[in-house]
């Protein structure tokens, strides 16, 4: 037997494109060196002697991808969600993030966070940390140890926030560069990402410096874009010389000059969407958070029609959920309301589309991730949906849809990243 080969037998379902599921009933998926080499109804003779991991009757699906999550807000889930964005930041978020200057507090919360991400089946994730370098490094090390793929960014902010959470501009840039140098080549699965919190909290000097760092070291960028009407107006007031919110990021080389993801994009203009498409900037759709903080509904169909890459995100703790499956449900519901708002012109999302967004759509930010096409990393969930109702007369698509709506982490039997089974992380 070849130790570099793993063969899984089960009901395989994934979305090579957003337009339709690809289903293989009772088939074999062959993984070599952590990557998918093929799917077969019957094994070739040369593979027949390899060990088979039997997942018969179960679903084998790509692991979930979360494009936007605030790690230090994990302990705040469910708090203050009757407020709008800016008051919520001031009342709950900034005071909580201050606590991460205490490395012992950070370790307690971040160990619970790693376990939670494992539990809900997220195999790749993009994190905002806090302004604190030591806590950010801890977060990086914990996810590297857990073998869960992640981008992790030390947050930068030097204006328009309480003094206890503000940074000195030069110190912020220096600490960010030190973090990049220490971690850019440390892990195959976990990487640094440049993270200006959002335009209102970053001076032009800080934005310029971060853009230079991203280009110098070829590091991806993440931030927020057009989440809330008050925020959009605030950016216009702070940067009257710019064409729009996106133009501010673009001016400072933070909008597609390296790989970039922007969260929310609720009030993004046609010109900004065009620039996102041109610069290959990703949009992270956060429907739960947009509901909870009274932000609005992202017009996802408009982005897809413009060939902008879109993925799904929880945006904890604006979102109270950690499960991308539950975000999929919310994304469909939001698109139906948008369909009604646009007099049924903005076609609602369907199940294959939202599953694509939560797997390959967001996964492509990490490379060949989120699908079972040949050459893709084998990031996968093994799902036992037998307790959700009769499965005999359902298609694989119907079974997956039911899991998304009424299943939970208890249905996830195993999790794999790059072909390696991910063990349950220790909480304490």
Task: Report the pLDDT averaged over residues 122-150.
Answer: 98
Rounded Cα distance between 265 and 327, Å, is 16
What is the rounded average pLDDT for all residues in the chain?
96
Q: Tell me the CB-side half-sphere exposure of residue 7, using CA atoms within 13 A.
A: 19
Q: Which residues contact 326 (CB under 8 A, 6 or more apart)?
A: 288
Indicate whether 1 pLDDT > 80. Answer: no
Rounded Cα distance between 332 and 351, Å, is 8
Name the band, by pLDDT with cuts 50, 70 and 90, for residue 428. Answer: low
**Percent of the chain residues past pLDDT 90, beyond the cut:** 93
Task: Report the pLDDT averaged over residues 416-425.
Answer: 97
Name the band, by pLDDT with cuts 50, 70 and 90, for residue 291. Answer: very high
pLDDT digits (tens, 9 = 90+) for 93-110: 999 999 999 999 999 999
Rounded Cα distance between 352 and 359, Å, is 10
For the ranges 47-56, 69-78, 91-100, which has the lowest average pLDDT? 47-56
Indicate whether 48 pLDDT > 80. Answer: no
Task: Report the pLDDT averaged over residues 136-161.
Answer: 98
Rounded Cα distance between 50 and 56, Å, is 17
pLDDT digits (tens, 9 = 90+) for 337-356: 999 988 888 899 999 999 99
Indicate whether 44 pLDDT > 90. Answer: no
pLDDT digits (tens, 9 = 90+) for 355-375: 999 999 999 999 999 999 999
Rounded Cα distance between 89 and 201, Å, is 12
**Percent of the chain residues past pLDDT 70, beyond the cut:** 100
- Predicted local confidence at residue 2, as pLDDT: 77
Task: Report the pLDDT averaged over residues 409-418.
Answer: 98
* Percent composition of the chain: helix, strand, coil (DSSP 3-state, to 5): 45, 25, 35
Indicate whether 426 pLDDT > 90. Answer: no
Task: Report the pLDDT averaged over residues 379-396.
Answer: 96
Rounded Cα distance between 307 and 139, Å, is 33
- Predicted local confidence at residue 86, as pLDDT: 85
| Residue 275, helix vs strand vs coil | helix
pTM passes above 0.85: yes
Q: Of all helices (H) and strands (E), which one includes residue 302?
A: helix 300-305
- Predicted local confidence at residue 189, as pLDDT: 98
Indicate whether 84 pLDDT > 90. Answer: no
* Beta carbons within 10 angstroms of residue 20's beta carbon: 13
- Predicted local confidence at residue 344, as pLDDT: 85
Which residues, in sequence order, are bridge partners of residue 14?
22
Report which of 408, 409, 391 is spatially closest to residue 399, judged by C-alpha positions. Answer: 391
- Predicted local confidence at residue 161, as pLDDT: 93
pLDDT digits (tens, 9 = 90+) for 7-30: 999 999 999 999 999 999 999 999
């Amino acid at each position: 037997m070849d130790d570099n080969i793993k063969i899984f037998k089960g009901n395989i379902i994934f979305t090579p494109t957003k337009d339709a599921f690809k289903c293989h009933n009772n088939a074999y998926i062959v993984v070599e060196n952590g990557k998918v080499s093929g799917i077969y109804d019957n094994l070739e003779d040369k593979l027949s002697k390899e060990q088979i991991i039997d997942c018969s009757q179960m679903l084998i699906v790509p692991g979930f991808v979360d494009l936007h999550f605030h790690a230090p807000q994990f302990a705040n889930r469910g708090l203050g969600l009757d407020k709008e964005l800016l008051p919520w930041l001031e009342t709950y978020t900034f005071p909580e993030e201050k606590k991460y200057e205490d490395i012992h507090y950070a370790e307690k919360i971040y160990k619970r966070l790693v376990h939670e991400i494992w539990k809900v089946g997220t195999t790749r994730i993009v994190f905002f940390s806090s302004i604190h370098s030591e806590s950010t490094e801890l977060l990086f090390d914990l996810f590297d140890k857990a073998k869960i793929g992640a981008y992790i960014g030390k947050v930068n902010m030097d204006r328009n926030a309480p003094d206890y959470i503000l940074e000195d501009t030069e110190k912020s840039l220096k600490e960010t560069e030190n973090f990049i140098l220490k971690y850019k080549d440390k892990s195959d699965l976990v990487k640094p990402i440049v993270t200006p919190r959002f335009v209102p909290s970053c001076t032009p000097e800080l934005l310029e410096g971060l853009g230079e760092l991203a280009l110098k070291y070829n590091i991806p960028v993440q931030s927020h874009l057009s989440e809330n009407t008050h925020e959009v107006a605030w950016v216009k007031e702070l940067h009257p010389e710019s064409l729009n919110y996106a133009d501010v990021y673009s001016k400072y080389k933070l909008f597609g000059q390296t790989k970039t993801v922007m969260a929310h994009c609720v009030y993004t203009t046609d010109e900004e969407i065009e620039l996102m498409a041109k610069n290959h900037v990703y949009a992270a759709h956060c429907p739960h958070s947009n509901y909870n903080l009274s932000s609005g509904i992202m017009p996802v169909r408009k982005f897809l029609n413009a060939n902008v890459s879109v993925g799904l995100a929880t945006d904890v703790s604006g979102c109270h959920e950690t499960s991308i499956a539950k975000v999929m449900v919310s994304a469909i519901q939001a698109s139906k309301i948008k369909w009604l708002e646009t007099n049924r012109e903005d076609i609602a999302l369907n199940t294959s589309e939202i599953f694509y967004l939560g797997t390959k759509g967001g996964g492509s930010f990490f490379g060949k991730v989120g699908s079972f096409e040949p050459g893709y990393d084998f990031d996968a969930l093994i799902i036992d949906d037998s307790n959700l109702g009769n499965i005999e007369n359902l298609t694989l698509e119907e079974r997956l849809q039911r899991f998304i709506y009424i299943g939970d982490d208890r249905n996830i039997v195993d999790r794999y990243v790059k072909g390696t089974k991910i063990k349950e992380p220790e909480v304490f």
